[in-house]
Structure 1
Amino acid sequence: MAILKQPMKEYDNAAYRYYGPSDLKMLPLMSWDVYGLYFDTLCKNYEDLVSLKRLSDQNKWMDVPNLNKALIENELVILVTDVKQKIVHATQNMVAMNGYLPHEVKGRRPTMFQGADTNEKDTFEIRKALKNQSPFEAVVLNYKKDGTAYNCWIKGGPIFDTSGELVNFIAYEKVVA
Protein backbone atom coordinates (compact mmCIF):
# COMPACT_ATOMS: atom_id res chain seq x y z
CA MET A 1 0.00 0.00 0.00
CA ALA A 2 2.88 2.37 0.66
CA ILE A 3 3.85 2.00 -2.99
CA LEU A 4 0.52 3.56 -4.08
CA LYS A 5 0.71 6.53 -1.72
CA GLN A 6 3.29 8.51 -3.69
CA PRO A 7 1.59 8.17 -7.14
CA MET A 8 -1.77 9.06 -5.59
CA LYS A 9 -0.28 12.16 -4.00
CA GLU A 10 1.24 13.13 -7.35
CA TYR A 11 -2.13 12.55 -9.04
CA ASP A 12 -3.90 14.73 -6.47
CA ASN A 13 -1.32 17.50 -6.89
CA ALA A 14 -1.52 17.35 -10.68
CA ALA A 15 -5.33 17.38 -10.61
CA TYR A 16 -5.31 20.37 -8.27
CA ARG A 17 -2.91 22.28 -10.53
CA TYR A 18 -5.06 21.48 -13.59
CA TYR A 19 -8.45 22.31 -12.09
CA GLY A 20 -7.24 25.05 -9.77
CA PRO A 21 -9.41 26.34 -6.98
CA SER A 22 -12.69 25.64 -8.83
CA ASP A 23 -15.62 24.13 -6.99
CA LEU A 24 -15.62 21.08 -9.26
CA LYS A 25 -15.64 17.76 -7.44
CA MET A 26 -12.42 15.80 -7.64
CA LEU A 27 -12.51 12.04 -8.08
CA PRO A 28 -10.07 9.65 -6.47
CA LEU A 29 -8.16 7.61 -9.04
CA MET A 30 -9.39 4.36 -7.50
CA SER A 31 -13.02 5.23 -8.30
CA TRP A 32 -12.62 5.57 -12.07
CA ASP A 33 -14.35 2.26 -12.61
CA VAL A 34 -17.47 3.59 -10.85
CA TYR A 35 -17.28 7.29 -11.70
CA GLY A 36 -15.70 7.11 -15.14
CA LEU A 37 -18.78 8.53 -16.84
CA TYR A 38 -18.89 11.48 -14.45
CA PHE A 39 -15.19 12.13 -15.01
CA ASP A 40 -15.66 11.99 -18.80
CA THR A 41 -18.56 14.44 -18.54
CA LEU A 42 -16.50 16.70 -16.31
CA CYS A 43 -13.61 16.73 -18.77
CA LYS A 44 -15.87 17.41 -21.75
CA ASN A 45 -17.63 20.27 -20.01
CA TYR A 46 -14.70 21.84 -18.17
CA GLU A 47 -13.93 24.28 -21.01
CA ASP A 48 -17.58 25.37 -21.11
CA LEU A 49 -17.57 25.98 -17.37
CA VAL A 50 -14.41 28.08 -17.65
CA SER A 51 -15.88 30.08 -20.56
CA LEU A 52 -19.17 30.63 -18.72
CA LYS A 53 -17.29 31.73 -15.59
CA ARG A 54 -15.25 34.17 -17.70
CA LEU A 55 -18.47 35.51 -19.29
CA SER A 56 -20.09 35.97 -15.87
CA ASP A 57 -17.00 37.78 -14.58
CA GLN A 58 -16.73 40.05 -17.65
CA ASN A 59 -20.40 40.99 -17.48
CA LYS A 60 -20.41 41.17 -13.67
CA TRP A 61 -23.43 38.89 -13.28
CA MET A 62 -25.26 39.68 -10.06
CA ASP A 63 -26.45 36.12 -9.44
CA VAL A 64 -24.31 33.43 -11.01
CA PRO A 65 -26.46 30.34 -11.59
CA ASN A 66 -25.20 26.90 -10.58
CA LEU A 67 -23.72 26.07 -13.96
CA ASN A 68 -21.93 22.96 -12.66
CA LYS A 69 -25.22 21.37 -11.66
CA ALA A 70 -27.01 22.36 -14.88
CA LEU A 71 -24.25 21.26 -17.22
CA ILE A 72 -22.67 18.29 -15.50
CA GLU A 73 -25.29 16.77 -13.21
CA ASN A 74 -28.39 17.52 -15.28
CA GLU A 75 -26.63 17.41 -18.67
CA LEU A 76 -28.51 20.47 -19.91
CA VAL A 77 -27.45 22.50 -22.91
CA ILE A 78 -26.76 26.11 -21.90
CA LEU A 79 -27.24 29.01 -24.30
CA VAL A 80 -26.34 32.57 -23.33
CA THR A 81 -27.39 35.53 -25.45
CA ASP A 82 -26.68 39.22 -25.28
CA VAL A 83 -29.50 41.69 -24.67
CA LYS A 84 -30.37 41.65 -28.40
CA GLN A 85 -30.75 37.85 -28.15
CA LYS A 86 -27.68 37.04 -30.22
CA ILE A 87 -26.00 33.86 -28.98
CA VAL A 88 -22.70 34.60 -27.25
CA HIS A 89 -22.13 31.15 -25.74
CA ALA A 90 -23.40 27.65 -26.44
CA THR A 91 -22.15 24.58 -24.62
CA GLN A 92 -20.38 21.78 -26.47
CA ASN A 93 -23.10 19.25 -25.58
CA MET A 94 -25.45 21.07 -27.96
CA VAL A 95 -24.09 19.04 -30.87
CA ALA A 96 -25.64 15.89 -29.36
CA MET A 97 -29.02 17.64 -29.04
CA ASN A 98 -29.35 19.25 -32.45
CA GLY A 99 -26.20 18.67 -34.50
CA TYR A 100 -24.92 22.25 -34.35
CA LEU A 101 -21.42 23.04 -33.15
CA PRO A 102 -21.22 26.03 -30.80
CA HIS A 103 -19.28 28.17 -33.28
CA GLU A 104 -22.05 27.62 -35.86
CA VAL A 105 -24.67 29.31 -33.68
CA LYS A 106 -22.68 32.16 -32.14
CA GLY A 107 -23.90 35.53 -33.35
CA ARG A 108 -27.23 34.07 -34.45
CA ARG A 109 -30.59 34.17 -32.68
CA PRO A 110 -32.15 31.08 -31.02
CA THR A 111 -35.03 31.39 -33.50
CA MET A 112 -32.67 29.63 -35.93
CA PHE A 113 -33.82 26.35 -34.36
CA GLN A 114 -37.49 27.00 -35.18
CA GLY A 115 -39.29 25.90 -38.32
CA ALA A 116 -42.58 25.50 -40.12
CA ASP A 117 -44.34 23.50 -37.39
CA THR A 118 -43.02 25.44 -34.40
CA ASN A 119 -46.01 26.66 -32.39
CA GLU A 120 -46.29 30.45 -32.70
CA LYS A 121 -48.11 30.65 -29.34
CA ASP A 122 -45.14 29.11 -27.52
CA THR A 123 -42.62 31.39 -29.19
CA PHE A 124 -44.83 34.43 -28.54
CA GLU A 125 -44.86 33.61 -24.80
CA ILE A 126 -41.06 33.36 -24.80
CA ARG A 127 -40.67 36.66 -26.67
CA LYS A 128 -43.08 38.32 -24.22
CA ALA A 129 -41.07 37.03 -21.24
CA LEU A 130 -37.81 38.25 -22.80
CA LYS A 131 -39.31 41.68 -23.49
CA ASN A 132 -40.53 41.87 -19.88
CA GLN A 133 -37.17 40.56 -18.60
CA SER A 134 -38.98 37.67 -16.91
CA PRO A 135 -38.13 33.99 -16.50
CA PHE A 136 -39.89 31.52 -18.77
CA GLU A 137 -40.32 27.79 -19.30
CA ALA A 138 -41.73 26.10 -22.39
CA VAL A 139 -41.54 23.09 -24.65
CA VAL A 140 -40.94 24.17 -28.23
CA LEU A 141 -40.77 22.16 -31.44
CA ASN A 142 -37.27 22.88 -32.73
CA TYR A 143 -35.31 21.54 -35.67
CA LYS A 144 -31.91 19.89 -35.79
CA LYS A 145 -29.25 20.83 -38.28
CA ASP A 146 -30.38 17.95 -40.49
CA GLY A 147 -34.00 19.20 -40.45
CA THR A 148 -35.33 16.60 -37.99
CA ALA A 149 -37.87 17.98 -35.52
CA TYR A 150 -37.50 17.49 -31.77
CA ASN A 151 -39.29 18.75 -28.66
CA CYS A 152 -37.03 21.05 -26.70
CA TRP A 153 -37.71 21.93 -23.06
CA ILE A 154 -36.36 25.41 -22.44
CA LYS A 155 -36.09 27.22 -19.13
CA GLY A 156 -34.59 30.67 -19.29
CA GLY A 157 -34.49 34.16 -18.04
CA PRO A 158 -32.61 37.42 -17.74
CA ILE A 159 -29.23 37.95 -16.13
CA PHE A 160 -28.49 41.30 -14.53
CA ASP A 161 -25.15 42.79 -13.60
CA THR A 162 -24.23 44.04 -10.15
CA SER A 163 -25.73 47.46 -10.91
CA GLY A 164 -29.07 45.92 -11.91
CA GLU A 165 -28.70 46.38 -15.69
CA LEU A 166 -29.75 43.59 -18.04
CA VAL A 167 -26.61 42.08 -19.60
CA ASN A 168 -27.56 38.60 -20.85
CA PHE A 169 -30.27 36.01 -21.14
CA ILE A 170 -29.60 32.38 -20.24
CA ALA A 171 -31.49 29.29 -21.35
CA TYR A 172 -31.21 25.69 -20.19
CA GLU A 173 -32.38 23.15 -22.74
CA LYS A 174 -32.90 19.43 -23.22
CA VAL A 175 -34.74 17.10 -25.54
CA VAL A 176 -38.04 15.78 -24.17
CA ALA A 177 -40.45 13.19 -25.51
Structure 2
Amino acid sequence: MTNAEENNNRNSVPILSWDFHYERVNELKSAFSDLKKVKQISTEFHWDDKSLDVQERLKEEVVVITDLELKIVFASTGIKKMTGYTENEILGKTPKIFQGPDTSETTLNEIREAIQLQVPFEKTVKNYKKNGKVYDCKICGVPVFNLKGQLSHFIAFEKEEKSA
Protein backbone atom coordinates (compact mmCIF):
# COMPACT_ATOMS: atom_id res chain seq x y z
CA MET A 1 0.00 0.00 0.00
CA THR A 2 1.23 3.48 -0.79
CA ASN A 3 1.39 6.26 1.74
CA ALA A 4 -1.60 8.03 0.14
CA GLU A 5 -3.73 4.85 0.34
CA GLU A 6 -2.84 4.39 4.02
CA ASN A 7 -3.86 7.98 4.79
CA ASN A 8 -7.17 7.55 2.96
CA ASN A 9 -7.98 4.38 4.91
CA ARG A 10 -7.05 5.86 8.27
CA ASN A 11 -8.93 9.14 7.90
CA SER A 12 -12.13 7.87 6.39
CA VAL A 13 -15.31 8.65 8.27
CA PRO A 14 -18.70 7.34 7.24
CA ILE A 15 -20.72 10.05 5.51
CA LEU A 16 -23.65 9.26 7.81
CA SER A 17 -21.80 10.58 10.84
CA TRP A 18 -21.45 13.95 9.10
CA ASP A 19 -25.15 13.91 8.27
CA PHE A 20 -26.04 13.40 11.95
CA HIS A 21 -23.64 16.13 12.98
CA TYR A 22 -25.01 18.53 10.36
CA GLU A 23 -28.60 17.76 11.41
CA ARG A 24 -27.82 18.35 15.09
CA VAL A 25 -26.01 21.61 14.35
CA ASN A 26 -29.05 22.81 12.37
CA GLU A 27 -31.37 21.88 15.27
CA LEU A 28 -29.21 23.88 17.67
CA LYS A 29 -29.12 26.87 15.28
CA SER A 30 -32.92 26.76 14.96
CA ALA A 31 -33.43 26.55 18.72
CA PHE A 32 -31.05 29.45 19.28
CA SER A 33 -32.79 31.50 16.58
CA ASP A 34 -36.23 30.71 18.04
CA LEU A 35 -35.11 31.64 21.55
CA LYS A 36 -33.63 34.89 20.25
CA LYS A 37 -36.93 35.82 18.54
CA VAL A 38 -38.93 35.06 21.69
CA LYS A 39 -36.50 37.18 23.72
CA GLN A 40 -36.96 40.06 21.25
CA ILE A 41 -40.75 39.88 21.61
CA SER A 42 -40.39 39.58 25.38
CA THR A 43 -38.15 42.63 25.56
CA GLU A 44 -40.26 44.71 23.17
CA PHE A 45 -43.45 44.10 25.14
CA HIS A 46 -41.84 44.07 28.60
CA TRP A 47 -42.72 40.54 29.65
CA ASP A 48 -41.52 38.87 32.78
CA ASP A 49 -40.78 35.66 30.88
CA LYS A 50 -38.81 33.74 33.52
CA SER A 51 -41.82 31.64 34.53
CA LEU A 52 -42.54 30.63 30.90
CA ASP A 53 -39.42 28.42 30.69
CA VAL A 54 -39.32 28.89 26.91
CA GLN A 55 -35.72 27.74 26.49
CA GLU A 56 -36.43 24.35 28.04
CA ARG A 57 -39.81 23.90 26.37
CA LEU A 58 -38.43 24.68 22.91
CA LYS A 59 -36.51 21.40 23.10
CA GLU A 60 -39.67 19.28 23.05
CA GLU A 61 -42.53 21.53 22.01
CA VAL A 62 -43.56 23.95 19.32
CA VAL A 63 -44.02 27.50 20.58
CA VAL A 64 -46.71 29.69 19.05
CA ILE A 65 -47.27 33.29 20.14
CA THR A 66 -50.39 35.25 19.22
CA ASP A 67 -51.34 38.85 19.76
CA LEU A 68 -54.54 39.87 21.55
CA GLU A 69 -56.56 39.34 18.34
CA LEU A 70 -55.16 35.76 18.30
CA LYS A 71 -53.15 36.45 15.15
CA ILE A 72 -49.93 34.43 15.08
CA VAL A 73 -46.86 36.65 15.50
CA PHE A 74 -44.30 33.86 16.06
CA ALA A 75 -44.01 30.11 15.59
CA SER A 76 -40.89 28.12 16.37
CA THR A 77 -39.20 26.19 13.59
CA GLY A 78 -40.74 22.93 14.86
CA ILE A 79 -44.06 24.09 13.41
CA LYS A 80 -43.00 22.83 9.96
CA LYS A 81 -42.32 19.31 11.21
CA MET A 82 -45.56 19.19 13.21
CA THR A 83 -47.95 20.80 10.71
CA GLY A 84 -46.24 21.05 7.34
CA TYR A 85 -46.61 24.85 7.41
CA THR A 86 -43.66 27.21 7.64
CA GLU A 87 -43.78 30.13 10.05
CA ASN A 88 -44.16 32.56 7.15
CA GLU A 89 -47.26 30.70 5.90
CA ILE A 90 -49.08 31.13 9.22
CA LEU A 91 -47.92 34.56 10.43
CA GLY A 92 -50.88 36.93 10.68
CA LYS A 93 -53.38 34.06 10.66
CA THR A 94 -55.24 32.64 13.64
CA PRO A 95 -54.86 29.06 14.94
CA LYS A 96 -58.10 28.29 13.06
CA ILE A 97 -55.79 27.47 10.15
CA PHE A 98 -55.14 24.12 11.90
CA GLN A 99 -58.81 23.29 12.54
CA GLY A 100 -61.27 21.27 10.50
CA PRO A 101 -64.36 19.03 10.61
CA ASP A 102 -63.00 16.69 13.31
CA THR A 103 -61.93 19.52 15.62
CA SER A 104 -64.18 19.42 18.71
CA GLU A 105 -66.35 22.52 19.01
CA THR A 106 -66.70 21.79 22.74
CA THR A 107 -62.93 21.85 23.24
CA LEU A 108 -62.64 25.04 21.17
CA ASN A 109 -65.31 26.68 23.34
CA GLU A 110 -63.39 25.68 26.48
CA ILE A 111 -60.23 27.22 25.01
CA ARG A 112 -62.11 30.42 24.06
CA GLU A 113 -63.46 30.68 27.60
CA ALA A 114 -59.97 30.30 29.12
CA ILE A 115 -58.69 32.99 26.75
CA GLN A 116 -61.55 35.34 27.69
CA LEU A 117 -60.89 34.71 31.39
CA GLN A 118 -57.16 35.18 30.78
CA VAL A 119 -56.25 31.93 32.51
CA PRO A 120 -53.89 29.11 31.46
CA PHE A 121 -55.38 25.99 29.88
CA GLU A 122 -54.31 22.55 28.75
CA LYS A 123 -56.31 20.78 26.06
CA THR A 124 -55.83 18.23 23.32
CA VAL A 125 -57.51 19.03 20.01
CA LYS A 126 -57.73 17.35 16.64
CA ASN A 127 -55.84 19.59 14.27
CA TYR A 128 -55.04 19.36 10.58
CA LYS A 129 -51.68 19.40 8.88
CA LYS A 130 -51.12 21.28 5.64
CA ASN A 131 -51.58 18.00 3.74
CA GLY A 132 -54.98 17.44 5.42
CA LYS A 133 -53.83 14.70 7.79
CA VAL A 134 -55.47 14.84 11.23
CA TYR A 135 -53.32 14.79 14.36
CA ASP A 136 -53.91 15.18 18.10
CA CYS A 137 -52.28 18.36 19.37
CA LYS A 138 -51.72 18.88 23.09
CA ILE A 139 -51.81 22.61 23.78
CA CYS A 140 -50.70 24.33 26.96
CA GLY A 141 -51.89 27.91 26.54
CA VAL A 142 -50.80 30.76 28.78
CA PRO A 143 -51.78 34.43 28.79
CA VAL A 144 -48.70 36.65 28.93
CA PHE A 145 -48.76 39.88 30.89
CA ASN A 146 -46.31 42.78 30.70
CA LEU A 147 -44.53 44.17 33.75
CA LYS A 148 -47.48 46.54 34.37
CA GLY A 149 -49.82 43.54 34.63
CA GLN A 150 -51.55 44.20 31.31
CA LEU A 151 -52.37 41.34 28.97
CA SER A 152 -49.89 41.41 26.10
CA HIS A 153 -50.00 38.11 24.18
CA PHE A 154 -50.91 34.46 24.41
CA ILE A 155 -48.29 31.77 24.17
CA ALA A 156 -49.02 28.14 23.37
CA PHE A 157 -46.68 25.22 23.89
CA GLU A 158 -47.82 22.52 21.50
CA LYS A 159 -46.89 18.92 20.95
CA GLU A 160 -48.23 16.25 18.64
CA GLU A 161 -49.65 13.38 20.64
CA LYS A 162 -48.67 10.05 19.16
CA SER A 163 -51.53 7.61 18.59
CA ALA A 164 -51.43 4.36 20.52
TM-score strictly above 0.5: yes
SS of 1:100 mapped into structure 2:
coil
CA shift, 1:40, in A, is 4.4
Describe how 1:122-133 pairs up with structure 2 within 5 A.
122-133=107-118
| TM-score, length of structure 2 as denominator length | 0.82
Describe how 1:21-170 pairs up with structure 2 within 5 A.
39-64=25-50, 65-72=52-59, 74=60, 76-170=61-155
| Unaligned residue ranges in structure 1 (runs of 5+) | 1-31
SS of 1:153 mapped into structure 2:
strand
SS of 1:163 mapped into structure 2:
coil
* Alpha-carbon RMSD: 1.8
The residue aligned with 2:6 is none
| Unaligned residue ranges in structure 2 (runs of 5+) | 1-16
Asked if the contact 2:66/2:73 (under 8 Å) is kept, the reply is yes
Bigger Rg, structure 1 or 2: 2
Structure 1, 55-64 or 156-165: larger mean CA deviation: 55-64
What is the percent sequence identity of the aligned residues?
Answer: 38
SS of 1:115 mapped into structure 2:
coil
Q: Letter of the aligned partner of 1:89 in structure 2? A: F
Structure 1, residues 31-55: CA drift from partner, whole Å, max 9, x if none? x99x957654322211111101000
Asked if the contact 1:142/1:149 (under 8 Å) is kept, the reply is yes
CA distance in 1, matches of 2:46, 2:40: 10
Aligned length, in residue pairs: 143
